[in-house]
Amino acid sequence: MANDKFTVVGTNIQEKATMIWNVADLLRGPFKPHEYGLVILPMTVVKRFHDCLLPTHQNVLDTYEKVKKLAVIDGFLRTASGYQFYNTSKFTFERLLADPDNVESNFRDYLNGFSANVQDVLAKFDFDNIIKRMVESNTLYLVIKEFASQKGYLGPDKISAVDCGYIFEDLVRRFSESFGEEAGAHFTSRDIIYLMTDILLSGEDLSKQENITVYDMTMGTSQMLSCMEERIHDINPGMEVTCFGQEFNPSTFAIAKADMMIRGGNPDNMRFGDTLSEDKFTDYNFRYIISNPPFGIDWKREQKAVEKEAAKGEEGRFAPGLPKISDGQQLFVLNGLKKLDNRGKMAIIQNGSPLFSGDAGSGPSNIRQYILENDWLSAIIQLSTDMFMNTGISTYIWVLDKDKPVERAGKVQLIDARHCFTPRRKSIGTKRNDIGDTDRALIVEAFTAFSEGVFGDKEGVYCESKIFATDEFGYNKIVVERPQRDEYGAIVKKKGKPVADSALRDTENVPLTENIDSYFEREVLPYAPDAWIDRSKTKIGYEIPMTRYFYEYQAPEESEVILARITDMETRISAYLQALFGRE
């Protein structure tokens, strides 16, 4: 699937977002640069609501007059507006500008006219306090005037739901940058999202009409959900798609809920709270999960709730194990696995830590063991560096499947896609690379083919696929003991058994695919004939060393070549010096 919408509207939408962000010119002085978004984001949401409702505004007012004395009126007003929300105030942006002396009271009247679901959105922005500051600085009228101009028009006849999502996304990125936040906490670029959606939908039969559920546990502004819905409808326009998401940041949650209302989805499926400590979707199951949770972030704030749930065992989400307190990303993987239905698939972004951190018997290793021994890991795709705004490190897409095809059973596909990228003409933070259409097509081809080999041109853009049995990632960590010896060299015994010398204690990692005794006889006994295995201390561990699997030996340069290059440099330096000083 080509990113037609992404490539066609990208420039125009960015221009639109830039024009909206230029409202900041009116805010200089009363607001600091990092505060511009506190005004611009909620005003953009309000204006989008306004422009969507404008064609049916009078119809809503007329309906409201007829039903306002009834006990329940929401259904009538939603029908009248044509959306999941409405506004019963007589004011529009045009009427607000007609009465500058009363702009504050009139604007508040307008905001109070919105339905309860919009009120929830505005509350998450803490918009009331922002309005007070605009009034005090005499900027409220000017900001409303700017948004009421043609360049501030956000009606659905000019700006589609997809395009508006881009605008929200761009504004959040600008706000995050100006605020000094890690923008990646809220922003995943669409080139990465489309790769994830296409991997999830690869080989799927979506010809039958059914209700497809999609969940994002850290949804940000909900663009992963909208992209997933878009891709499904590209395949089957009539397919019913229901999106669910949870978000902890108030501003991005507000945008996500607003976006869902405008797209005609159920805004109640967008829920606010910390996914780890305040799960809003307990006992829910989903067909697809797509997410980019924070990585390298501690879970101290959620520790008490997480440990309490882990103590429930299989009734909770975290029974397999808990990662180190400094990095909670594996907790999100466990949350997703708990929520996948029996046919469910998940694509989730992680950094390198979940591949190998933690020794045998540790929480991180036990989580990998849980995933691999249940045969839920379908593939891991390593992306190029410099793919995200806030970090240049390597990132990985884990693809998990509760119903793996027969040919993938008991196997894991590793794809090295570090060379599958297109350099950006202009970087955004540390994002210097994009996954272009050709890049994405190669990665999807490699995933779909499920075969080993190189896809693409190894002299240019390419990715490499390797396939392993799940037990190849596992090992038995054995404890090797050796006896204490007295001053005469004799073995010290207790109750007829040799006493272990802790100073000589060692460990060995024996692959699960190999017999422990055979390994011990071959690798240990020839060098320590008096050694033995303390089998009570044997632990199973799992790790996925992708770097080792895809390492390619680079022969060092021949010494003669190095010497020739150094000699040439010396000759040229001598010539420069002679030319510089030889004239005296």
pLDDT per residue as tens digits for the range 399-434: 999 999 999 999 999 999 999 999 988 877 788 899
Q: What is the domain partition of the chain in residue ranges?
A: 4-176, 184-381+395-409, 473-546
* Alpha-carbon gap, residue 169 to 439, rounded angstroms: 23
Distance (Å, whole) CA 373 – CA 368: 8
Tens of pLDDT, residues 133-163: 999 999 999 999 999 998 889 998 888 877 8
How confident is the model at residue 539, as a pLDDT? 97
Mean pLDDT for all residues in the chain: 91
pTM: 0.88
pLDDT of 431 reads: 84
CA–CA distance, 230 with 224 (Å, rounded to integer): 10
Residue 342 · residue 402 · CB < 8 Å = yes
Q: Evaluate if residue 205 carries a pLDDT over 80.
A: yes
Domains 4-176 and 184-381+395-409 share a fold: no
Cβ partners under 8 Å of residue 17, min gap 6: 166, 167, 170, 171, 174
Q: What is the CATH number of domain 4-176?
A: 1.20.1260
Quick: pLDDT tens for 40-78: 999 999 999 999 999 999 999 999 999 999 999 999 999
Angstrom distances, CA of residue 528 to CA of 344, 353, 481, 487, 581: 50, 35, 10, 19, 68
The pLDDT of 313-342, averaged and rounded, is 96
Residue 231 in this model has a pLDDT that exceeds 70: yes
The confidence score (pLDDT) of residue 9 equals 40
Phi, psi of 485 (to 5 degrees): -130, 145
pLDDT tier for residue 583 given thresholds of 50, 70 and 90: low
Classified as helix, coil or strand, 4 is helix
Cα distance between residue 149 and residue 271, in whole Å? 33
- 511/419 Cα distance (integer angstroms): 30
Q: How far apart are the two ends of the chain, measured CA to CA in Å?
A: 70
CATH 3.40.50.2300 fits domain 184-381+395-409: no
| Orientation of helix 103-112 relative to helix 140-148, angle to 10° | 60
**What pLDDT is attached to residue 178?**
62
* pLDDT tens, position by position, 553-576: 888 888 888 888 899 999 999 888
Assign 5 a pLDDT band (cuts: 50, 70, 90). very low
CB 321 within 8 A of CB 364: yes
DSSP E strands in 128-252: the ranges are 211-216, 240-247
349, β-bridge pairs: 397
Question: For a pLDDT cut of 90, what percent of the chain falls above it?
Answer: 71
